[in-house]
Amino acid sequence: MNECYYDKRMDFFYNRTKADTVDEWTGAQLIGVLCFGTFFCLFIFISNSLVIAAVVKNKRFHFPFYYLLANLAAADFLAGIAYVFLMFHTGPRSKKLTVDRWFLRQGLLDTSLTASLVNLLVIAVERHMSIMRMKIHSNLTKKRVTFLIISIWAIAIFMGAVPTLGWNCLCDITVCSSLAPIYSRSYLVFWSVLNLVVFFIMVVVYIRIYMYVQRKTNVLSSHTSGSISRRRTPVKLMKTVMTVLGAFVVCWTPGLVVLLLDGLNCTDCGIQNVKRWFLLLALLNSVMNPIIYSYKDDEMWATMKRMICCSSEDKSQERRSSRIPSTVLCRSTDTSGHYIEDGIIQGTICGKGDLSDKGNS
């Protein structure tokens, strides 16, 4: 019967797997990494909080697509927490960690990655349901979206806890990996292959949907008299999603390939020399997503900008607007699907812009 090593500290496993790079961190290197990581983690916290707040505040974002987008921002927020925890438990401190603390460190990273990945899969389904009906938004109810979001986090937490639940090498150290000294190499192969396969499936699905949208849009443009912006909106939303997916794949694929090579016990691949850079690349993904949302969606950016810069001005605007008929503030107070979709398409923001236009007329 194999001996188990639950009571050992991580130095036992690092030394056995010859992961000597943890000793290469000097004081200056560690301070530099901490400063760099802290800056980006603060940006992750602030920017993703703004995305979530924008979806909550702006009623034009109260649709399944934007709820899932906010949930993706929540996954990025968790990733920021995971990176903060990692920063203060890395370098020389890695060897001093207990097994449970190390499992927590890696479990946070795995959970955030899984949450982002499953969320993108659900968004792909939502986009497929909408696009195939040539609608901007699907007919998912709030209850179903809530159930989907809860399911996403249940799956993410479970996948992040799998090594802790038993798929590790604590009782068979001959199969321990190099990058993750208490993870079994078979688990790394499973984890990396599963994620890479899902990446490939999502890319294929989105490309097919995008081609379908382009074809249908071209056909409809010559037979309908609707606004050009309305016909182009499905394409614009697809471009946003595809940009987010592309950034996710680019940032995470190198790290997953390295994990796969480690799982396959490739001792001559030099994976120890690149692991920290690929981890920083993964960190960059959580930084990029809020920028993509605001760049690709004019109303998202306008909502975020008003929350950042114009809070006091908005308060005075609300006081003035209480004395102005609602027809001045908006073309309609109807919250039906068609009106809200038109508002999203045209990027119209009721309030400051409309008032200034009225004042100039």
Q: Domain-by-domain residue ranges, the chain?
A: 10-219+235-308
Q: What is the pLDDT of residue 340?
A: 32
Q: Looking at residues 10-22, what average pLDDT do you find?
A: 71
* Residue 191: pLDDT band with limits 50, 70, 90: very high
Percent of the chain with pLDDT over 70: 74
**Above 60 in pLDDT, residue 259?**
yes
Dihedral sign for Cα atoms in the order 173, 174, 175, 177:
positive
Q: Is the pLDDT of residue 133 over 80?
A: no
Residue 280, pLDDT above cutoff 60: yes
Mean pLDDT of 267-296: 80
Q: What's the pLDDT score for residue 107?
A: 93
Over residues 23-28, the mean pLDDT reads: 59
Q: Global pTM? A: 0.76
State the Cα–Cα distance between residues 175 and 156, nearest whole angstrom.
25
* pLDDT score for 324: 39
Between residues 31 and 117, which one has the greater pLDDT?
117
Average per-residue pLDDT in the chain?
76
d(CA 264, CA 195): 16
**342-359 per-position pLDDT tens digit:** 333 333 333 344 433 444
Q: How does pLDDT run across 213-253, given as a tens digit for each residue?
A: 777 767 766 655 545 444 555 566 667 777 888 888 888 88
Could you report the per-residue pLDDT of 315-341, keeping only the tens digit for each?
A: 545 445 444 343 333 333 333 333 333
pLDDT at 137: 61
The angle, 0 to 180 degrees and rounded to 10, between the axes of the packed helices 228-263 and 185-221 is 160
Residue type, 19: A
More confident residue, 281 or 105: 105
Q: Determine how many CB atoms are found less than 10 A away from the CB of residue 313.
A: 12
Residues β-bridged to residue 176: 184
Q: Which position has the higher pLDDT, 107 or 206?
A: 107
Per-residue pLDDT for 123 more than 90? no
- 351 in the Ramachandran plot: left (φ > 0), alpha (ψ -120 to 50) or beta? left
pLDDT at 193: 93
pLDDT digits (tens, 9 = 90+) for 302-320: 888 888 776 545 554 544 5
Please give the Cα distance from 294 to 309 (Å, whole number): 15
In whole angstroms, give the CA distance from residue 296 to residue 239.
8
| Residue indicated by tokens 């050992």 | 8
- pLDDT over threshold 90, residue 108: yes
- 99 has a pLDDT exceeding 70: yes
- Predicted local confidence at residue 180, as pLDDT: 87
Q: Residue 73's pLDDT is what?
A: 92
CATH number of 10-219+235-308: 1.20.1070.10
- pLDDT bin (cut points 50, 70, 90) of residue 155 is very high
